[in-house]
Copies of this chain bind each other. A is one copy, B any other.
Amino acid sequence: MTLAEIRTAHTTTLAEAMKANADRTFYAHWPEAPSGKIYGETANDEGLARFQQQLNSPFDRLPSEAASTGNEASPYGFPLGVSYPKISVDDLIARGSAAQTAWQALTPEDRASVLVEALERGAKDFFEIGYATQHTTGQGFVMAFQASGPHAFDRALEAVAMGLSAQSHFAMNVMWTKPMGKISVSIDKSFRVVPKGLNLVIGCSTFPIWNTTPGMFAGLVTGNAVIVKPHPGAVYPIAIVVARVREVLAELGLDPNIVQLAVDTVDAPITLDLVRHPAVRIIDYTGGPHFGTIVEHEAAQHGKIVFTEKAGVNCVVLDSTDDLDRAMDNLAFSLTLYSGQMCTAPQNIFIARDGMKVGSETVSVEAVVEKLREKIDALVFNEKAGPTTLGAVQSTATAARVSEAQGLGLGIVRESASVIQPGFEAARSMSPIVLRTDTSKADIYTKEWFGPISFVIATDSFDQSLNEVTSSIRNHGALSALVYCTDAARSQQAEDAIVNAGAPVSFNFNSYVWVNQSAAFSDFHGAGCNPAGNATFADWSFVTNRYNVVGVRKQA
């Protein structure tokens, strides 16, 4: 396999992906269905077997080191027992720095082609990735397959394509000739991409691939050596991807340390040492706001580029709808999916005290809330769909938060209860709790309640609901907003207010698209302009801040 072959093999994919980024219409390079027809009839069995073989074993797709580490446990109730090579911070930095020179010397096209090849190889592992994701994050298998497989890989390809578009925009070599009356003067110019330096990508426990591949591949395509530092609770899924990239690099005679996996444990964390190391010039962070703010502060102090996707308080406004059943079906699914453990999941649902207009009728708050409860119940108690939609709760802290919510003394729309995950008796799984309150309890609901916890909040009016949403976005951040409104003027008012506050907004979702979802190549994930984070997957800034263009001029 040569670089030239890889370039040829992936020209079309890259061209399509660049076009998709510009067009923003539906595009997916990898189909999202975990179907044997698409991925091969034996793919599921092979992936499951590979997952089972990996349990209680060293992860030998990465070169072994003197020491190993790892301490993952499935939210479905068993330890994974996978161990990973343990590499010191100094070694990670030294190896990454040594690897970068040759990588940055490649053309952007070559880097992009190598990365697409790695993604195509990684796609062969989608089923193993699905099981690895299920048993680190708690996601149901289908969601785990989609989120960590096709969707995450599409986000990676999106970032690669954006990086290539950005770097390809300027001519790399030109003869510049300035006319000066009767004479002219010529300068032979070239422009070189200079990556900022080592790119640290810090992952989270709930979306170990989806939230990591954008920064990882954006960093790589722009010439940076990357150190991936997964959450200690969700290493296995991204380890598969890192190993695939290293495999391709090694086959091409490139230094595999262009991308490295840095594994630690909760008891002996190394993330801040990496963040603070002067050779680390770019940091991608997805995860909780507390540590995210520390990372942002460290980066600001030392002039590092930082991309964050923390979390916010996502709001819903219920004003009017043509079809309350479909609206509440949609909202119920968003609250239930992966037990509210998505950074885009709704938390606060505002409704005017007068209720909601449904067609020409007015439906009371009581009736709307009852409808929502009904729809959640229907999903949760559906034997087939309920447990797999909910999945398990990744961390004990989230489970404890549900208990805390139960003790708040607020009105209860829906109680949380244990959920049996068939085949996994010890799974940490529970149904959503929905509480009911009003704006006097803002001190409670304006903080983030990560997990299957939501609040229905009565307000005086649509205007007050909207004010609550925009002030929440400005002060607490948001990654999504959802409005049900059939009135044109109010819809425009909501759109202007929410967009200017800095959050993406969705209207009247009532079908097979949910506010939690953001589609690669179309939806920008993370607005980047509210306290929930400064990064957007994948806008121009997400790639252009990772390198500089430096000119070379020669007298011709």
Q: Which of A23, A183, A554 has the most B CB atoms < 10 Å from its CB? A: A554
B552 near A545 (CB under 8 angstroms)?
no
A507 proximity list for chain B (CB < 8 A): 552-555
Q: How far is the CA of A504 from the CA of B179 in the complex (A)?
A: 23
Contact of A301 among B22, B300, B527 (CB under 8 A): B300
Q: How far is the CA of A459 from the CA of B338 in the complex (A)?
A: 66
A502 proximity list for chain B (CB < 8 A): 194, 548, 550
A-to-B contact residues, CB < 8 Å: 21-26, 165-166, 169-171, 174-180, 183, 185, 187, 189, 191-192, 194, 196, 296, 300-301, 303, 495, 499-500, 502-513, 519, 522-524, 527-529, 534, 536, 539-541, 544-545, 548-555
Contact of A509 among B169, B296, B529, B555 (CB under 8 A): B555
A549 near B524 (CB under 8 angstroms)?
yes
A552 proximity list for chain B (CB < 8 A): 495, 499, 504-507
CB-based nearest B residue for A169: B22
Q: How far is the CA of A191 from the CA of B191 in the complex (A)?
A: 32
Q: How far is the CA of A328 from the CA of B175 in the complex (A)?
A: 24
A529 near B550 (CB under 8 angstroms)?
yes
11 additional contacts (CB under 8 A) given A194-B499, A504-B550: A25-B171, A26-B178, A189-B523, A300-B301, A303-B534, A506-B552, A507-B553, A507-B555, A509-B555, A524-B549, A524-B550
List 20 interface pairs A-B (beta carbons < 8 Å), by A numbering.
Answer: A21-B170, A22-B169, A23-B171, A24-B170, A24-B174, A25-B171, A25-B174, A25-B177, A26-B176, A185-B511, A185-B513, A189-B523, A194-B529, A506-B552, A506-B555, A513-B555, A527-B550, A529-B550, A539-B549, A541-B545
Q: How far is the CA of A166 from the CA of B545 in the complex (A)?
A: 14
A24 near B171 (CB under 8 angstroms)?
yes
B555 near A544 (CB under 8 angstroms)?
no
A21 proximity list for chain B (CB < 8 A): 170
Q: How far is the CA of A519 from the CA of B187 in the complex (A)?
A: 11
A549 proximity list for chain B (CB < 8 A): 524, 536, 539
Q: How far is the CA of A492 from the CA of B170 in the complex (A)?
A: 22
A189 near B301 (CB under 8 angstroms)?
no
B511 near A25 (CB under 8 angstroms)?
no
Q: How far is the CA of A178 from the CA of B514 in the complex (A)?
A: 13
Q: How far is the CA of A528 from the CA of B187 in the complex (A)?
A: 22
B544 near A541 (CB under 8 angstroms)?
yes
B541 near A508 (CB under 8 angstroms)?
no
Q: How far is the CA of A527 from the CA of B170 in the complex (A)?
A: 15
A541 proximity list for chain B (CB < 8 A): 541, 544-545
CB-based nearest B residue for A511: B185
B551 near A189 (CB under 8 angstroms)?
no
**Given the interface contacts A23-B171, A26-B179, A170-B21, does A548 sit within 8 Å of B529 by beta carbon?**
yes
A550 proximity list for chain B (CB < 8 A): 499, 502-505, 524, 527, 529
Q: 5 tightest A-B contacts by CB?
A: A540-B544, A300-B300, A529-B548, A506-B553, A508-B555
A300 proximity list for chain B (CB < 8 A): 300-301, 303
B22 near A171 (CB under 8 angstroms)?
yes
A505 proximity list for chain B (CB < 8 A): 550-553
A174 proximity list for chain B (CB < 8 A): 23-25, 522
A539 proximity list for chain B (CB < 8 A): 544, 548-549
**Given the interface contacts A529-B550, A540-B540, does A192 sit within 8 Å of B22 by beta carbon?**
no
**Given the interface contacts A169-B22, A191-B24, does A528 sit within 8 Å of B510 by beta carbon?**
no
Chain B nearest CB, measured from A247 CB (Å): 28
Contact of A511 among B26, B175, B510, B555 (CB under 8 A): B555
Q: How far is the CA of A301 from the CA of B509 in the complex (A)?
A: 39
A194 proximity list for chain B (CB < 8 A): 499-500, 502, 527, 529
Chain B nearest CB, measured from A533 CB (Å): 11
Contact of A177 among B26, B176, B528, B555 (CB under 8 A): B26
Q: How far is the CA of A495 from the CA of B550 in the complex (A)?
A: 10
Q: How far is the CA of A194 from the CA of B528 in the complex (A)?
A: 10
Q: How far is the CA of A508 from the CA of B502 in the complex (A)?
A: 50
CB-based nearest B residue for A301: B300
A22 proximity list for chain B (CB < 8 A): 169-171
Q: Which of A503, A510, A528 has the most B CB atoms < 10 Å from its CB? A: A528
CB-based nearest B residue for A546: B541
A24 proximity list for chain B (CB < 8 A): 170-171, 174, 176, 189, 191
A301 proximity list for chain B (CB < 8 A): 300
CB-based nearest B residue for A173: B24
Q: How far is the CA of A510 from the CA of B192 in the complex (A)?
A: 23
Q: How far is the CA of A505 from the CA of B550 in the complex (A)?
A: 8
**Given the interface contacts A22-B170, A512-B180, A519-B176, does A192 sit within 8 Å of B551 by beta carbon?**
no
